[in-house]
Homo-oligomer: A and B are copies of this chain.
């Protein structure tokens, strides 16, 4: 039903870039990565495609940190840790208890929960060593 999508080399490149990094980039970062390879790429295109991917569920948004939206090409359920010192974002595998919490919360609120995102904040081991 949503087969109305042409092939586009640039769209593919955007998705590839997002999937081939372990970081959790912003639209601008993706743009800068691709700019050298596709000199006529426009920032608007990156935004447009990222929004569409997000809508399609092909990628996931981590939300806005410091005014910029961060994306994650890895859509397997996992959580994130943000170092409040260096600002880096790390992946955290989901705890098995989560599904229990999930169900419990759903009942408590009488709501239909679709997803759950955990955000830890603290100091990463690298920054701890440096101090």
The chain A residues found within 8 Å of chain B, CB to CB, are 63-64, 67, 81, 83-84, 90, 92-93, 95, 97-98, 100-102, 104-106, 108-125, 128
How many copies of this kind of chain does the complex include? 2
Q: In the bound complex, do residue A92 and residue B108 qualify as a contact, i.e. CB atoms below 8 Å apart?
A: yes
Rounded to whole Å, the gap between the CB of A74 and the closest CB of chain B is 17
Which residue of chain B has the shortest Cβ distance to A128 in the bound complex? Answer: B112
Instruction: Across the A-B interface, give the 6 residue pairs with the lowest CB-CB distance, nearest first.
Output: A64-B64, A113-B122, A110-B125, A114-B122, A95-B101, A97-B97
Q: In the bound complex, do residue B128 and residue A120 qualify as a contact, i.e. CB atoms below 8 Å apart?
A: no
- On chain B, the residues within 8 Å of A125 by CB distance are 109-111
Rounded to whole Å, the gap between the CB of A68 and the closest CB of chain B is 10
Q: In the bound complex, do residue B124 and residue A120 qualify as a contact, i.e. CB atoms below 8 Å apart?
A: no
Q: In the bound complex, do residue A111 and residue B124 qualify as a contact, i.e. CB atoms below 8 Å apart?
A: yes
Contacts A63-B63, A81-B111, A116-B120 known; list 4 others, CB within 8 Å: A98-B101, A109-B125, A111-B122, A112-B123
